[in-house]
Amino acid sequence: MPQYDYVVVGGGTAGSVIASRLTEDPSVTVAVIEGGPSDVGRDDVLTLRRWMGLLGGELDYDYPTTEQPRGNSHIRHSRARVLGGCSSHNTLIAFKPLPSDWDEWAERGAEGWDAASMEPYFGKLLNNIVAVDEKDRNAIARDFVDAAQAALGVPRVEGFNKRPFDEGVGFFDLAYHPEDNKRSSASVAYLHPVMDERPNLTLLLETWAYRLELDGSRARGVHVRTKDGEEVYVEAAREVIVCAGAVDTPRLLLHSGIGPREQLEALGIPVVHDLPGVGENLLDHPESVIVWETHGPIPENSAMDSDAGLFVRRDPEFEGPDLMFHFYQIPFTDNPERIGYERPPHGVSMTPNIPKPKSRGRLYLTSKDPEVKPALDFRYFTDEDDYDGRTLVDGIKLAREIARTEPLASWLKREVAPGPEVTGDEELSAYARQVAHTVYHPAGTCRMGASADELAVVSPDLTVRGLTGIRIADASVFPTMPAVNPMIGVLMVGEKCAELLTGSDA
**φ and ψ of 24, to 5 deg:** -60, -30
- Determine contact, residues 74/335, Cβ cutoff 8 Å: yes
Distance separating alpha carbons of residues 452 and 466, to the nearest angstrom: 12
Q: Is 441 a catalytic residue?
A: yes
* Residue whose C-alpha is closest to residue 168's, from 154, 148, 147, 151: 154
User: Residue from 28, 75, 243, 432 that binds ligand FAD (CB under 6 A)?
Assistant: 243
Nearer to ligand FAD, 100 or 405 (CB): 100
Distance separating alpha carbons of residues 462 and 440, to the nearest angstrom: 23
Residue with the CB atom nearest ligand FAD in the bound state: 12
Please report how close the Cβ of residue 471 comes to ligand FAD at its closest, in angstroms.
13
Please report how close the Cβ of residue 425 comes to ligand FAD at its closest, in angstroms.
30
Distance separating alpha carbons of residues 494 and 451, to the nearest angstrom: 22
User: Residue from 45, 448, 487, 501 that binds ligand FAD (CB under 6 A)?
Assistant: 487
Please report how close the Cβ of residue 315 comes to ligand FAD at its closest, in angstroms.
24
Indicate the length of the chain as a whole number.
506
Stretch that binds ligand FAD, among 78-86, 338-346, 398-406, 456-464 (CB under 6 A): 78-86
Please report how close the Cβ of residue 24 comes to ligand FAD at its closest, in angstroms.
20
Using CB under 6 A as the binding criterion, the count of chain residues that bind ligand FAD stands at 39
* Residue whose C-alpha is closest to residue 19's, from 184, 247, 236, 224: 236
Nearer to ligand FAD, 346 or 362 (CB): 362
Region label for 47, one of left (φ > 0), alpha (ψ between -120 and 50) or beta (otherwise):
beta
Nearer to ligand FAD, 9 or 467 (CB): 9
**Cross-strand pairs, 31:** 7, 202
Crossing angle of helices 487-505 and 13-22, in 10° steps, is: 30
- Determine contact, residues 9/234, Cβ cutoff 8 Å: no
- Determine contact, residues 117/212, Cβ cutoff 8 Å: no
Residues 6 or more apart whose CB falls under 8 angstroms from that of 397 comprise 428
Q: Is 82 annotated as a binding residue?
A: yes
Nearer to ligand FAD, 243 or 428 (CB): 243
CA neighbours closer than 13 Å in the CB half-sphere of residue 257: 14
Give the x/- contact pattern for ligand FAD in 8-27, rule: CB under 6 A: -xxxxxxx------------
498 touches ligand FAD (CB under 6 A): no
Please report how close the Cβ of residue 326 comes to ligand FAD at its closest, in angstroms.
9
Helices (H), 284-386: 334-338
Please report how close the Cβ of residue 423 comes to ligand FAD at its closest, in angstroms.
32
Nearer to ligand FAD, 29 or 445 (CB): 445
User: Residue from 21, 22, 38, 79 that binds ligand FAD (CB under 6 A)?
Assistant: 79
208 touches ligand FAD (CB under 6 A): yes
Nearer to ligand FAD, 12 or 479 (CB): 12
Neighbours of 424 (CB within 10 A): 9
Which residue ranges make up the site for ligand FAD (CB under 6 A)? 9-15, 33-36, 78-81, 85-87, 89-93, 208-209, 243-246, 248, 252, 440-441, 474-475, 485-487, 490
Residues annotated within a binding site: 82
